[in-house]
Copies of this chain bind each other. A is one copy, B any other.
Amino acid sequence: MSFLDRIAACNNHDPALFRPFIVAGRQMGLVNHAFAARLEAFPSVFDVDAASVSLAAGLTNFEDRSAAVAEVLRGLAGQGVIKGWRDELFPVANGFGHTPLMQIERAAVPLFGVRAFGVFVNGYVRDGGNLKLWIGRRSKTKPSWPGMLDVFVGGGHPIGIGLMDNLVKEAGEEANVPPALARQARPVGAISYRMNIDGGFRPDTEFVFDLELPADFAPRNTDGEIEDFYLWPVEQVMETVRDTGDFKPNCNLALIDFFIRHGFLTPDEPDYLEILAGLRQ
């Protein structure tokens, strides 16, 4: 396996499986054909034809759209069509920070192929001239990617919270990072990918942060989502990313970006420029 394989695994989108999802005349996502067929049962909320799924024209504002879709989604969750309900609302907007046209339950975001945003925090420790990375092991009871390795702290970006405030909240819950320390996280870019998974489409963008941690800081999970933490030399993390499928897929991208920015993955790597291009799709 190679770094490019890790990138390819997050970029397996097949446009033939989807049709556009349109809100207020704008394409906001993609719906797979099978899910589109299910939405035909709700003609007061969705106009479904062979070419697209549009939110009904009578739904003209944020509140009406969000309420009508929420009712449909709760019904589909009751039927088991939507799994892993989170009770967390994500914006549907034309770009990060733009005024949202509506909000939807997080678990349904991939079913509408709406771009989601999130944060990934690489937590690292300087040990003389060496760098070590804190790595998490996801709980075996987590609905998504149970038991897999994870970056230090990460989280989806719900509606109505600033990026840094969300980072501070996630860092507190996932790793017991004091707010003042979490706020030292430094934004260093973003990765993006186009992934098909469980019948959905995830055209996601994750803002990447680096957080240098004191040598005596020991993360401790407080929300039950991470069962263990490991402090590994960057070289060991690189080998694990490259040679195993142990990390949650999109975490590989945030880690590869770290390896590049810190000079561990160098232009001597024959795929260097392809890897770079692959991190932002």
Interface code A10-36, partner B: CB below 8 Å = 1, 0 otherwise? 000000000000000000000000000
Copies of this protein in the assembly total: 2
A187 contacts the other chain (Cβ, under 8 Å)? yes
CA–CA, A266 and B209, complex, Å = 10
Question: Chain A's interface: helix, strand, loop or mixed, by majority?
Answer: mixed
Q: Give the size category of A's interface with B.
A: 20 to 34
CA–CA, A178 and B189, complex, Å = 32
Q: Is the CB of B186 within 8 A of A262?
A: yes
Contacts of A270 in B (CB 8 A): 97
Q: Is the CB of A266 within 8 A of B189?
A: no
A-B complex: 9 closest residue pairs judged by Cβ atoms: A186-B263, A187-B266, A187-B263, A188-B261, A163-B267, A189-B260, A207-B267, A261-B261, A187-B267
10 extra A-B contacts, CB within 8 A, seeds A188-B261, A188-B263: A96-B267, A96-B272, A163-B267, A186-B262, A187-B260, A188-B260, A190-B267, A190-B273, A210-B263, A261-B261
14 contacts between A and B (CB under 8 A): A95-B273, A96-B273, A163-B267, A186-B262, A187-B266, A187-B267, A188-B263, A189-B276, A190-B267, A190-B272, A205-B273, A207-B267, A261-B261, A280-B280
